[in-house]
Amino acid sequence: MFARIRRDIRVVFERDPAAQSVIEVVLCYGGLHAIWLHRAAHALYVRGWVLLPRLISNFGRFLTGIEIHPGATIGEGFFIDHGTGIVIGETAEIGRNVTLYQGVTLGGTGKEKGKRHPTLGNNVVVASGAKVLGSFTVGDHAKIGAGSVVLRPVPAHATVVGIPGRIVVMKGQRVRTETELREAHALPLAEDESAELLASELDVDLDHDMLPDPEAEMIESMRQEIELLKARLSHLEEQR
């Protein structure tokens, strides 16, 4: 137990440059408190308790603004940064070294029974305000851009933005069409890339502020085409 607590504190220092001291992290980080309370609630939940785990979960929501259902399964190295408004559903599964920012929802899409919430792989980053809704898998090392709404599976090493979420980067390559997506998805990692990922699983890429904007790119492309058409039209009018 104490080893896990030390690891939780170390994760905060690894991913939040604002952390200054251990006592500050232990007393002031709501995401850390939410994780610790969830562990207690989950331990009771899997042993058949119902009411007490929900009470612990509700207390955690009151204390931190983060709602994690006792049934959710969370792996090691989980980090919540400024977690107000985060909601994690009952059948959600979160892998190792996952990072969630404020306002993230891991939710369902209806009243179906059984598995109805998403599964996040290892080293996934979900940015502020993103909604991941439904029973599907987000692959290892994937990134979900801020404000995105993801409704279908995300392959490993993909970056998703928009509403609904679209894959715009795959294994470091810019993706614009379905054909490019299939090609990038089928492209294996180089040997040095695979070795680097295996050697440093804790090296989570938190950069999610410079993601591509497909709508802006499309509008800019249309603007350039309109300017070209206007120039050609002016040239034809001059010739007449």
Q: In tens digits, what is the pLDDT along the chain, a chain of 240 residues?
A: 788 888 989 999 988 888 889 999 999 999 999 999 999 999 999 999 989 999 999 999 999 999 999 999 999 989 998 888 999 999 999 999 999 999 999 998 877 778 899 999 999 999 999 999 999 999 999 999 888 999 999 999 888 988 888 888 877 677 765 555 565 555 554 444 444 444 444 455 555 555 556 666 678 778 888 888 888 888 888 887
Q: By three-state DSSP, how is residue 5 classified?
A: helix
The pLDDT value given to residue 88: 94
Name residue 48's amino acid.
G
Residue pair 144/127 in contact by the 8 Å Cβ criterion: yes
Count of CB atoms within 10 A of residue 51's CB? 8
CA atoms within 13 A on the CB side of 101: 18
Provide the β-strand partners of residue 81: 101
The pLDDT value given to residue 71: 93
The pLDDT value given to residue 87: 94
The pLDDT value given to residue 188: 52
The pLDDT value given to residue 91: 92
Rounded to whole angstroms, the Cα distance separating 67 from 72 reads: 11
Q: Which residues of 93-116 are buried (b: 16+ CB within 10 A; e: fewer)?
A: bbbbbbbbbbbbbbbbeeeeeeeb
Residue pair 137/112 in contact by the 8 Å Cβ criterion: no
Reported pTM: 0.73
Residue pair 180/142 in contact by the 8 Å Cβ criterion: no
The pLDDT value given to residue 207: 55
The pLDDT value given to residue 193: 46
